[in-house]
Structure formats: C-alpha cells, structure tokens
Chains A and B, each alone.
Chain A
C-alpha cells in the first residue's frame, strides 16, 4: 500500500516537473546572416506574425557583428522573417516555428548592384505631443523613392522593447500591393510612462522591387548610401 502511494507520488511529481519544464521551454527564432562570400553581416531581423507580406509586424532583433540574432516569441506558428543589412537587398522568408522549440535559420544576402533605385530616408525625428491626459510621441520619417514604388515596408524598430512597427503613410493606400506615397510617415508611441529614447530606434525602408535603404540608427543622420563591392 505504502509502495503504491510512493510510486503514485513520484509519478505525479514527475508529471508536474515535466509540465513545468514544458512551460519554461522558449519559442525562439535564431540565425546567422552572411554575405554570399560567407562574411557575417550586422543588421536587423524583423518578423511579421502570420502569413508573410501581411504587414502585421511583431517582434524583431538586432543582428550583431557576428551575424547572429535571436528573437524570442510569445507563441509558435507562421511568421514572415525579413532580414536587412545596409547595402544589401533585404531577404524575406516564410518560416514556421513550433511552440517551445528553437528554429535555426541561415540567411544569405546579396549586395545592391546600384543604389540609384533605392528608397532614401531623408529625415527622422521624435516629436512629443501632449493632449489632456494622454502623452504621445510621434516618430516621423521622411521617405523618397526614385522609382516611386514604395511598399508598406517603412519600418521602425525599438531595440529596447523588441517591437517592430509599420509606419503610417502620409495618405491612405488602397491595398498593400499598391505603390505607397513618398513623404512623411509617422507613428504614435505612448510615452506617458517613460519618454522615448531615440538611441533605441532603428529605421529601414524597402520598395516593391526589394530595393532597400541603409538601416538608419542613432543619431538618425542619413548618409549617402554606398555600393558594396
């Protein structure tokens, strides 16, 4: 009788331990970004939640100097992984991550053969705005595109929170495959709890032909893009 009770107790304890371990298992996308020559590339890895190109942006991460990134997710499922590095054409890739597991990917980027067709970020700024009880900071980005075929990827990434945002276009766009307008894009961020730290913010823009700007980081002073040989 005693033995049976002990076995039951041990079995129950094991189940509880197992459930706890399962509960702790992280859901992660991690990977390496490199050039065709195998050189590690720094940049940004940004995720859409659900089907790729749905413009529902979720989490992201900085890609370090060794070309490594890790994004922890709240849940598994389908995501659109977009990887950017200055001077390179961005890479989109649909991925599927199992809850509680780690997906490892390798991303190879190719350089922009010319920068003449790339969108350009001409200005970025942060503008606090108070209205009665709410406190909002508007993040603004001025974008131009020589081909006039901007897509919805006018993106802001907050490295402190890991959040990715598609910025609002200057005027309404009928659908995501339409050409988005050039001009000032903006994003309203709730800064009632804490002020925005510009140092945390990164910006990148891609057009419908995948032409991609350099990543704009603090102090957000655009520089002429260069062709990587």
Chain B
C-alpha cells in the first residue's frame, strides 16, 4: 500500500512539470501572446518580468514547484487576484455537479444492469443493453442541449442554466451522468453474470433458492466491487465532462472557468485549473486502488 502511494509521487511531479511547460509551448513570445499582438512593448516587457519569463528555464521551474508546494498558483492576468482563491471559490460547484452525475449514473445503471443480468437473453436484456450502447455514443454536448430544449424550453419544468436549488442541478447532472450510466450498466450486467457462475451462488440455487433471490441476496453485493472500481476510475472522465457540461448550462465551476480563461489567454488561471483537475484525478485513482484492496482482500499491493 505504501508502495502504491509512493508510486504517485513521480506521477504528480510529471503532471506539475507538464503544466509548467504549457506556457513554454506557446508559439513565439508567451508574454506577447497573453497580451495580444497590439500590446505596447513596455507592457509585454513588464509582464515578462512579472512572470519571471526572462529567467533561466531551470530557475523558473524550481520557483514554480516551490510556489506550488506553498499552494501558490500565481496571479490571474485578467483579475489580478490569486489563482488559488479563484479556483477554491469554484470547487464546490464542480464537485456538486460531478457527484450528482455519479449519483444519477448509479441510480440508472444498477437497476438496468441487474434487470439485464436477471433476465439474460430476454427482451429486457437486449433493450437495456441497446439503451446502454446508445448512451455511450451520445455526446454530452448534444444530450445537454436536447434535454434543455425538452425539459426547460418546451415543458418549462426546469431552469435552462445557472446554479441554485436542486432543480438547477437535474439537467446538468443527467446530461453528464448518462454516458457513465451506460458504461456502468454494461459493467453491472457482466459482473453480475460472472458472479452468478460462482460455486457459492450455484450452491444456493441448488438448495432451491430462486434466481431472483440468488441475484439480490447473494451475487449482487459481490458484483458491485468492479462496478465501484470503474466508478472511481471514471471520475476523471466525469471531471473532464464538467468542462463541457458547465459550459452548456453556465454552471459556475472549474470547467467553465478553464474555458473562459482560455478565451482571455489568462494562462496562469488555465494552468491552475488544469493542475487542479489532473491532481484530483490522480488522487481519486489512488483512493480507488486503495479502496479496491480494502474491499477485496485477495488484491493487496505489496
């Protein structure tokens, strides 16, 4: 377990290095690119000095890492405020959306997967899996607007955009969670079918327990382990999805902040958003791995 934790340190360092290098990937002069072609030379020089872009690369890198350890992500070029503070302000909204989407996904996927496995090969199975296939192919940037057309514009049941009560959360969470739901439903079905072949379930069946009871009372709990793992591993996809969903529904989270700051060429803020999402993703993957070992003692990290 300690080994698994230790293995994430070089990965985190790599992530930080890549995010640091982003600014240096900008073609031409980064300071000029941030201010636009028309900016006066004096302003460009001032910004270059402010960002210490005139220092040797290695020195910049060491400073970047040092600041990072202190939780300092620099200053936004546009608002002149701390990047860390701006991001911290947006975190609750993004996590609210991400967790709501994962909740929606589980609520849809588990019943669908169980039904498909319980009536394997039947019409129910085929219909559930066809829905799941479709759900995986539908882009969330299409589903979002479609849901908005139907439920917000035509029916007027839910607000079109913004953050507020639970009613504001429904459409973004559903449009973000559906692709995950589709994947989890397939996973639940496959995992449950595998579990139903296990000797202990067959023994229970041989004692005269109905298939439905075998599914619910015996196989279901164990079959959830891989499903929960996938849920954890897919957290990154959900976080990336928030970039799109937040843009569609004007949801005030990190994703929307990222896209807006790209539009303003506010690169310190872009770096901060990307770093936060990537580090969260690494952390959740680590937690998933550790939880997996805890849930299933057969798998332990030496």
* Bound pair (A, B): no
Interface residues of B (CB under 8 A from A): none
Interface residues of A (CB under 8 A from B): none
